[in-house]
Structure 1
Amino acid sequence: MPLAALIAAQDQTDIGDGLRATLPLAGRTLIEHQAGLAIAAGAAHIVVLVERVPAVLAQAVDRLRRQGARIEIARSVADAIDRFHPSERILLVADGAVAAQGAVDALAGMEGAALLALPDAQDHAAFERIDATERWAGYALLDKAMLEATARMLGDWDLSSTLLRRLVQDDAARIPALDPSGERPLPPPVLAIGPAAIGTIEAGLMRRADPGEGNWVELYLHRLVAGPLIGPLIARQIDQRLVAGVAVGIAWFAALLAGFKLFWGAALLLPVAAATASAARRMARIWGGVAEPTALIALARHAAALAALLLLARLLAAEGGWGWWLVAALLPAALAGTGALETMVAAIRPSPSPRWLASADALVWLAPAVAVLGGWRWMLAALTAYAVLSFVERFATAWKGARIYDI
């Protein structure tokens, strides 16, 4: 059955413009994070239940729509009900509630009515009580029939609280919000009732910026160079696509310098472009599925680096013979082959790749250092050898994996 989401946004007289949904969060708003959680859990479309629509909320909804989300605004419960299909399961998100993605995914994967539950502890006192031992984490799964039945008896009661009571009375399944799989604890849910709660959510989002695995450049070098840029960029609400575009512009300016034989300028600017692109990727990672970067931008930046490489090869070939064209051609070929083999290895025997493997960003960072030590010829030869060695390692791994699979 398809999944939809209903996000409640109630008036709160003591918060900003009166809506928790519009509280600022990592350069955007709380409701954009809530929508992102629902989309990542499989929600095909989202309905926001809100009586009035301040400008900040309208802008947040517009941003989500530009990123491809199907999102609508309903001014009343009856209006919201009309926007759901009878066959849809509805993921209910209480006003200001944020849970870990793993917990939301576990709830969305349930067959029947269910809700996320928390132990009745002092740390969770802001959440609504279910009974003497548990509290509601603000997320529930129900169908349109239950939503309609609850609306008929609603009166002046709060929709989320009334739905919770109906779910409890119907013995809805309770999913532990802190450890739904029973394998590893998740960050606890947060109810955005003030700046401290928003700070907790934002800190969790910012931790997404650092990748847990990948190439040595992204893990170590870009963490030092690009990492400090994330906070200021997000605070100024700069779109990560603009940052990625700046990275492409820097890369092509480097290629232009190479066209005028200013190879030192190109060699120094290409790492700057790589770090800027890393900052854009990290910003997109914070917002997950609602702000994914495009492969076309990365391709445009790599094309600029390839253009600079070809210009250098032309210079070296004019001075030292056509063999330098072969060396230069081998470098991107080895990188492309390594990437293709990486996909094969992941399909045969999923395991973390060695962090030392060559990548386009690793090569542009190494280029200036090697050029200082040995000049442009040694630089090109060393980078090509590095790329070929990475290809050989991936080929050997793929070969061994294929033989084990055959056995």
Structure 2
Amino acid sequence: MTFAAILSASRASGDSPAGLRATLHFAGQTLVEYQARQAARAGADRIFILVNVITPAISQAVDRLGADGIAVALVRDMVALVRDMPRDADSLLVADGAIISQSHFDALAGAEGDALLVTDDSRASAPFERIDAGQRWAGLARVSPDLLFGTLDMIGDWDLALTLVRGAVQQGVRRTTVPQDDLLEGRVALVEGQPQADLVAQSVLSMTSRSGRTRGGVEHYLFGPVARLLGPALMRSQVPALQVRIASMMIGAIALVPIELDWPIIGFCLLLFALLLSEVSDRLDELALRTPPSGWIAFITPFFALLGLAIASGSITATYLALMLAILLLADRWRRTGGARAWMIFTPGTALLLLLLAMLLGEGMSWMLDIAMICAIGSMGAIILLKRG
């Protein structure tokens, strides 16, 4: 069942009366953009942002969301909201300035009927809105069309989110209580200024860095852990994923120069570094709740790696190996490796590392190319034979 999401972007931040909580920087983007990506990941197909004034930061956030295929509409009055809101689907309501872990978004998205995310009254939950003597609203709610439009008909100039929450409380809707650990560790928070947002981001990003997609070969066992280590630090420094990806492409292209000059060790080291930066860029996208690219831009750096491998040897075996690695790369990137484990997937980074080790040991590349070809054939066979029907 589809549902919509309603976000608020009207309250001033504690840093400046001219600034908004929704435009605070969080995970490489504005906070409202992060909330929108969370809602979209939970399954929302339409997202409405309630605004008093459309600022350049909000407009740019909407443009970025639209470029990623997330449908977002800005709403400035209740008349427009009544006109545009779906009448046959529930809505996920997110408080202005709320930072809530994805697990809570997913839980309410998978629930049926009206529901409130609440927290027990304590010192840690003091920033949240009190709803009764013992609990406070934790910033997330699921409301039915009846409750939503019933509230819109009588709301006037009142605050929509709080009025909806009070209506849900009066109707005795189901409540989901947030564990106190989520409050203490920053998985559920209400921020008013940039220092608070930065503090919560450290907790959220460190928690997110423990998870992520699974890749094969060296990209999984070596580059992945390094990317998970560097990702949160770069994100807090506001380093864009695109800049890291462009750097990886440039280093990959530069690496071909020493290979052409018959300095393959230097070239292979640069190519491995370029592949690491590409993995870091993917990690930055994941931390920002963006989907890492799977189109041609994702294959530019690996293409330079395979080209360098073929040029360094100059043999037909190296060319065939590069072509087989290209196929394995596509299968790995597009998640078409079936039931193959990470160590079964032979990747460009793995091949480069093996050849580099052979050269550093003074053994040359010819025999290692044969071993790499056997590994590539075995990897392709594992993917085919273990493919789930």
**Equivalent position of 1:383 in the other structure:** 372
Residue 146 of structure 1 is matched in structure 2 by 147
Shift of 1:71: 1.1
Counterpart contact for 1:367–1:379, Cα < 8 Å: yes
Matched with 2:121 is: 120
Alpha-carbon distance in 2 for matches of 1:28, 1:334? 35
User: Does the alignment pair 1:365 with 2:359?
Assistant: no
SS in 1 for 2:175: strand
Task: Assess if the C-alpha contact under 8 Å between 1:371 and 1:379 holds in 2.
Answer: no
Work out the CA distance in 2 between the residues paired with 1:295 and 1:209.
24
8 Å CA contact 2:344–2:382 kept in 1: the answer is: no
Query: Cα distance, 1:260 vs. partner?
Result: 5.1
Aligned to 2:307: 307
The CA deviation at 1:243 is: 2.4
Query: In structure 2, do the counterparts of structure 1 residues 334 and 266 end up closer, same or farther at CA, with 3 Å as the change threshold?
Result: closer
Cα deviation, 1:317-357, whole Å, max 9, x if unaligned, reads 4xxxxxxx2465246437746975984643xxxxx825475
Structure-1 separation of matches of 2:139 and 2:281: 32
**Structure-2 change in CA distance of 1:198 and 1:170 (3 Å):** farther
Letter matched to residue 324 of structure 2: A
Q: Which residue of structure 2 lines up, in the alignment, with residue 45 of structure 1?
A: 46
The 8 Å contact of residues 306 and 326 in structure 2, kept in 1 or not, is answered as no
Q: CA deviation at 1:117?
A: 2.0
Mapping for residues 153-172 of structure 1, pairs under 5 Å: 153-172=154-173
1:277 deviates by 0.2
1:163 alignment partner, SS class: helix
> What is the CA–CA distance in structure 1 between the aligned matches of 2:126 and 2:120, rounded to whole Å?
10
Residue aligning to 1:279: 280
1:178–1:384 CA distance, 2 compared to 1 (3 A): farther
Which amino acid in 1 is paired with 2:94?
V
AA matched with 1:368: L
Q: Distance in 1 between matches of 2:384 and 2:62?
A: 47
Distance 1:144 1:224, change over 3 A: closer
Check whether the contact 2:217–2:347 (CA below 8 A) recurs between aligned residues.
no
CA shift, 1:187, in A, is 6.6
Report how many residues are paired: 379
CA distance in 2, matches of 1:55, 1:340: 40
User: In 2 relative to 1, CA 190–264 (structure 1 residues): closer, same or farther, beyond 3 Å?
Assistant: same
Corresponding residue number in structure 1 for 2:15: 15
What's 1:190 paired with? 189
Partner of 1:353: 341
* 2:295 aligned partner, one-letter code: A
Offset at residue 69 of structure 1 (A): 1.8
Distance in 1, Cα, partners of 2:293 & 2:103: 22
- Cα gap change, 1:338 to 1:37, in 2 (>3 Å): closer
CA contact (8 A) 2:27 2:34 kept: no
Going from structure 1 to structure 2, the CA distance change for 1:327 and 1:311 (only over 3 Å counts) comes to: closer
Question: 1: distance between equivalents of 2:104 and 2:210?
Answer: 21
Separation of aligned partners in 1, 2:329 and 2:221: 21
Kept in 2, the 8 Å contact 1:358–1:387? The answer is yes
Aligned partner of 2:31: which letter?
A: L
Judged with a 3 Å threshold, the aligned counterparts in structure 2 of structure 1 residues 379 and 267 are, in CA distance, closer, same or farther, namely: farther
Q: Which residue identity lines up with residue 176 of structure 1 in the other structure?
A: T
Q: Distance in 2 between matches of 1:98 and 1:361?
A: 37
- Residue identity matched to 1:91: L
* Higher alpha-carbon deviation: 114-123 or 216-225: 216-225
> Which residue does 2:200 correspond to in 1?
200
Paired with 2:331 and 2:221, the residues of 1 have a C-alpha distance of 24
C-alpha contact (below 8 Å) 1:255/1:266 kept by paired residues: yes
Contact 1:116-1:140 at 8 Å conserved across structures: yes
Matched position secondary structure for 1:98: strand
Q: Which whole-Å CA distance do the structure 2 matches of 1:261 and 1:23 have between them?
A: 50
1:161 deviates by 1.3
One-letter code of the match for 1:360?
P
Q: In the TM superposition, what is the alpha-carbon distance from 1:55 to its structure 2 partner?
A: 2.4
Matched position secondary structure for 2:124: helix
Among all aligned residue pairs of Structure 1 and Structure 2, give the percentage whose two residues are the same amino acid: 30
Gaps in structure 2 of 5+ consecutive residues: none
Is this contact kept in 2: 1:25–1:198, CA < 8 A? yes
**Alignment partner, residue 111 of structure 1:** 112
Structure 1 pair 225–2 and aligned structure 2 pair: CA distance change class (3 A): closer
1:122-167 deviations in whole A, cap 9, x for unaligned?
3222222233333211111113442232133324532211111111
* TM-superposed deviation, 1:239: 3.3
CA contact (8 A) 1:259 1:311 kept: yes
For structure 1, the 5+ residue unaligned runs are 180-185, 318-324, 347-351, 403-407
Aligned to 2:324: 333
> Are 2:209 and 2:229, in contact at CA under 8 Å, matched by a contact in 1?
no
Partners of 1:38 and 1:156 in 2: CA distance: 26
Please report the TM-score for the alignment, with normalisation by the length of structure 1: 0.80
> Alpha carbons of 1:129 and 1:218: their partners in 2 closer, same or farther (altered >3 Å)?
farther
Specify the SS of the correspondent of 2:364.
helix
Equivalent position amino acid for 2:192 in 1: I
1:237–1:67 CA distance, 2 compared to 1 (3 A): farther
Q: Distance in 2 between matches of 1:211 and 1:328?
A: 36
SS at match of 1:18: coil
1: CA distance between counterparts of 2:163 and 2:321? 66
What's 2:27 paired with? 26
- Rounded to whole Å, the distance in 2 between the matches of 1:165 and 1:301 is 53
